[in-house]
């Protein structure tokens, strides 16, 4: 086994890919620069004129961003009532930001989330087992509510049996995780265990993974570096891994706490995003 709490199998390129197969990414290839380039094209004025509902939505989103705080419940804006062209325009304006992910829900429903180029403003799309879209909305929040709700459905505590021969440090690590899980309350500072510095054998890691299990949330952040955030099957226990430009793990941790900050928007982000969306609206929609 390679170093790391979670690694992709040999030859599998899914280590840094979290979009589900068969689910189209509506914002693929649309970055912050791409948003401005699209709105500056000759045909964009005609498209904007045909999309009054999308134009009306932008200042509403700006106002929501301006009053949002990181510790507050998110504000939702349903996109299903908009026509296809208006939805496409909204997608072009919002673009694709740094954080994306998938959340596995009950009955085969999958939530696909994508942060816009305005941090704190997310698009959340739900598909059923057949890949059919069953929900589509925008959410102003530090992290979409579906992430925290799904993560809360995991196991409240952990127990383990007799570990195999060859273990080194997994038992004290499991004890520490269990104690931190029991003590954690929403809003508390997260507790971090770093495997980069802690010697763990392959048997240690295998037993740790087996005990914690797999969780329903997979997130990927591509800010100043690449960071993968995975929920485990144990409540409030997250695998947080940072990668270099060669996709090699440079920091491998478990966080016991709320959704890791590496994937969340902060209070300053909301204010900056409110200003940004206001500037776009005034420049191209008024």
Contact in structure between 126 and 106 (CB atoms under 8 Å): no
**Domain-embedded: residue 78:** yes
Closest C-alpha to 265, from 218, 237, 223: 223
- Within 8 A by CB and 6+ apart from 29, the residues are 96
Q: Residue 28: pLDDT above 70?
A: no
Which pLDDT tens digit goes with each residue over 119-147?
999 999 999 999 899 999 999 999 999 99
**Domain-embedded: residue 9:** no
- Within 8 A by CB and 6+ apart from 21, the residues are none
**Domain-embedded: residue 7:** no
User: Confidence class of residue 246 from pLDDT cuts 50, 70 and 90?
Assistant: confident
User: Confidence class of residue 20 from pLDDT cuts 50, 70 and 90?
Assistant: very low
Q: Residue 57: pLDDT above 50?
A: yes
- Residue 1: per-residue pLDDT: 34
Residues 55 and 102 in one domain: yes
Residues 137 and 272 in one domain: yes
Q: Which residue range(s) make up the domain with 214?
A: 151-263
273: CATH: 3.30.1370.140
Residues 168 and 222 in one domain: yes
User: Confidence class of residue 21 from pLDDT cuts 50, 70 and 90?
Assistant: very low
Residues 48 and 132 in one domain: yes
More confident residue, 162 or 43: 162
* Total-model pTM: 0.87
More confident residue, 47 or 171: 171
Looking at the structure of the chain, the number of domains it has is 2
Contact in structure between 136 and 173 (CB atoms under 8 Å): no
Residues 64 and 155 in one domain: no
**Domain-embedded: residue 8:** no
Q: Residue 27: pLDDT above 60?
A: no
Residues 126 and 192 in one domain: no
**Domain-embedded: residue 240:** yes
- Residue 150: per-residue pLDDT: 96
**Domain-embedded: residue 4:** no
Q: Tokens at residue 48, please?
A: 């904007």
Contact in structure between 278 and 62 (CB atoms under 8 Å): yes
- Residues forming a β-bridge with 102: 112, 218
- Residue 34: per-residue pLDDT: 53
Q: Residue 36: pLDDT above 70?
A: no
Residues 94 and 22 in one domain: yes
Residues 167 and 138 in one domain: no
Q: How far is CA 223 from CA 74, 255, 256, 283, in A?
A: 22, 19, 22, 27
Residues 23 and 114 in one domain: yes
Average model confidence (pLDDT) for the chain? 87
**Residue 219: what are its φ and ψ, rounded to 5°?**
-125, 150
Q: Residue 2: pLDDT above 70?
A: no
Closest C-alpha to 236, from 266, 257, 260: 257
Which pLDDT tens digit goes with each residue over 67-120?
999 999 999 999 998 999 999 999 989 999 999 999 999 888 999 999 999 999
**Domain-embedded: residue 10:** no
- Within 8 A by CB and 6+ apart from 3, the residues are 195, 249, 252
Q: Residue 262: pLDDT above 70?
A: yes
Q: Residue 224: pLDDT above 90?
A: no
Burial of 210 (0-12, 13-18, 19+ CB in 10 A): middle
Residues 249 and 230 in one domain: yes
DSSP β-ladder status, 99-104 and 110-115:
antiparallel
**Domain-embedded: residue 2:** no
**N-term to C-term CA, the chain:** 57
Contact in structure between 235 and 242 (CB atoms under 8 Å): no
Residues 222 and 88 in one domain: no
Q: At what angle are helices 202-212 and 170-183 packed, to 10 degrees?
A: 30
User: Confidence class of residue 165 from pLDDT cuts 50, 70 and 90?
Assistant: confident
Residues 157 and 222 in one domain: yes
- Residue 126: per-residue pLDDT: 96
Q: How far is CA 86 from CA 49, 95, 184, in A?
A: 10, 14, 43
């Amino acid at each position: 086994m390679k170093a790391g709490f979670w690694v992709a199998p040999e030859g599998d390129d899914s280590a840094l890919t979290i979009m589900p197969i068969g689910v189209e990414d509506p914002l693929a290839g649309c970055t912050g620069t791409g948003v401005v380039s699209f709105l500056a094209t000759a045909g964009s004025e005609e498209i904007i004129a045909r999309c009054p509902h999308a134009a009306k939505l932008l200042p509403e989103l700006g106002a929501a961003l301006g009053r949002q705080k990181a510790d507050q419940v998110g504000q939702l804006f349903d996109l299903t009532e908009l026509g296809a062209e208006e939805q496409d325009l909204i997608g072009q304006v919002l673009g694709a930001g740094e954080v994306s992910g998938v959340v596995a829900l009950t009955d085969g429903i999958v939530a696909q989330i994508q942060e816009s180029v305005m941090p704190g403003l997310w698009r959340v799309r739900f598909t059923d087992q057949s890949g059919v879209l069953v929900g589509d909305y925008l959410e102003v929040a530090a992290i979409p509510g579906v992430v925290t709700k799904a993560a809360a459905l995991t196991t409240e505590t952990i127990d383990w049996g007799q570990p195999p021969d060859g273990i080194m440090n997994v038992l004290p690590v499991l004890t520490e995780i269990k104690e931190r899980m029991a003590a954690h309350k929403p809003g508390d500072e997260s507790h971090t265990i770093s495997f980069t510095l802690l010697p763990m054998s392959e048997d240690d890691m295998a037993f740790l993974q087996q005990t914690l299990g797999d969780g329903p949330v997979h997130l990927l952040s591509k800010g100043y570096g690449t960071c993968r955030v995975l929920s485990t099957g144990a409540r409030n226990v997250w695998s947080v891994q940072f990668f270099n430009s060669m996709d090699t793990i440079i920091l491998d941790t478990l966080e016991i706490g709320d959704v890791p900050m590496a994937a969340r928007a902060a209070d300053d982000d909301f204010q900056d995003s409110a200003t940004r969306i206001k500037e776009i609206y005034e420049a191209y929609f008024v």
